[in-house]
Amino acid sequence: MFKKLTTLSLAVAALTCGGQVMAAHYVGGNLGAVQADFDSVGDADLVTAYGRLGTEFSENFSGEVRLGTGIDDDTLKGVKVELEHFYGAYVRGGIPVGDIFFPYAVVGLTRAELQLSNRFASTTESGTDVSFGIGTDIHLNANTDINLEYMNYYDKNDVSVDGFAVGVTYRF
């Protein structure tokens, strides 16, 4: 299903761009402050790192894949909470504001896996959900951007994962 959705997302983005397909590629890395909210227990504050690989289909649309992991965990009522990994495919659409800012909305699918453990047991919460967010790219030069973003990655089975990230993107 993930492969089909990725293909469909990229095809939709390409079709919406008409004849102005530029096919510029980019790679980036982000650090995120993420909150995993367990409805019955509370919130765990986690830190993530993820890589991004994308293609700009026009000046307004791009498609990208992300792969990330947790780099700092939290303890919640005696239970250690870790974000093992997450990955997804997304479509971004926005409108350039001058030569510096590119505010955008992003939507896609994310697969996330959280591990909960204490001295006696360990369990895993995982699943795939529709993700959405907003952000902006700040152009430093023709090839380099700073990226600021808020994403709701996962909200399923009484668990939600969302947060802010900052990163750098290089266009080639």
**Chain-wide mean pLDDT for the chain?**
89
Strand partners, 128: 111
Local confidence band at 121 (pLDDT 50, 70, 90 cut-offs): very high
Structure tokens at 31: 């650090």
Quote the pTM value. Answer: 0.84
DSSP readout, 63-96? EEEEEEEEEE-EEETTEEEEEEEEEEEEEEEE--
- Confidence at residue 116, expressed as pLDDT on a 0 to 100 scale: 92
Percent of the chain at pLDDT > 90 equals: 79
CA angle (109 as vertex; 13, 20 as ends), nearest 5: 10
By C-alpha distance, which of 114, 112, 96 is closest to 104?
A: 96
Tell me the pLDDT tens digit for each residue of 11-59: 444 444 444 445 789 999 999 999 999 887 899 999 999 999 999 999 9
